[in-house]
Amino acid sequence: CNAVGPAGTPFQDLSGKPTANAPEWTASFGFSYSFPIQDSLEGRISADGRYSDRYNFTSAYDPIGFQKSYVVLDATASVAAADGRWELALVGKNLTDKRFIGTSWEITNSPAAPGKVDLIGFGNIPRTVEARLTWKY
């Protein structure tokens, strides 16, 4: 709260401030490529990336609620039947292992900070790698 309104009501003037979770710049990119291995097998590779500029993840524009810019990269390499019946894939998510806060909320007078405000946020998942088998019947 940074101001007092009518009848002493506290309020915050956020005129000219960007809305929460609104980076000035974002970008996404990706590609996929398939190639024959044999008559009955196909190889596939793909990658997708996302860039986000710096943003404030709090609704009240808290000065400590800024997320730094980041790039996240996901990739997949697979072998599949040429007829599409099955696919064995190795999938990597967040290969850059960037941690960021997507959304948050404030808790007033929590046990961790009596008389103050706690800022709690939801983060993304860290780097993960998985094997995936898809079978169509």
Secondary structure (DSSP) of 17-28: PPPTT--S-EEE
Query: What pTM value is reported for the model?
Result: 0.77
Tokens of 130: 């998985």
What local confidence, expressed as pLDDT, does residue 63 receive? 82
Question: What phi and psi values does residue 115 have, to the nearest 5 degrees?
Answer: 80, 5
pLDDT in tens, 101-123: 877 888 777 777 677 777 888 88
Task: Write down the mean pLDDT value for the chain.
Answer: 88
Contacts within 8 Å (CB) and 24+ apart, 62-70: 62/106, 62/119, 64/119, 65/101, 65/104, 65/119, 65/121, 67/100, 67/101, 68/100, 69/23, 70/96, 70/98, 70/100
For residues 114-136, average pLDDT:
89
**Contact between 82 and 132 (Cβ < 8 Å):** no
Distance of alpha carbon 6 from alpha carbon 83, whole angstroms: 70
pLDDT in tens, 77-94: 999 999 999 999 999 999
- Cα separations in angstroms, 35 against 4, 60, 83, 85, 106: 66, 51, 13, 16, 51
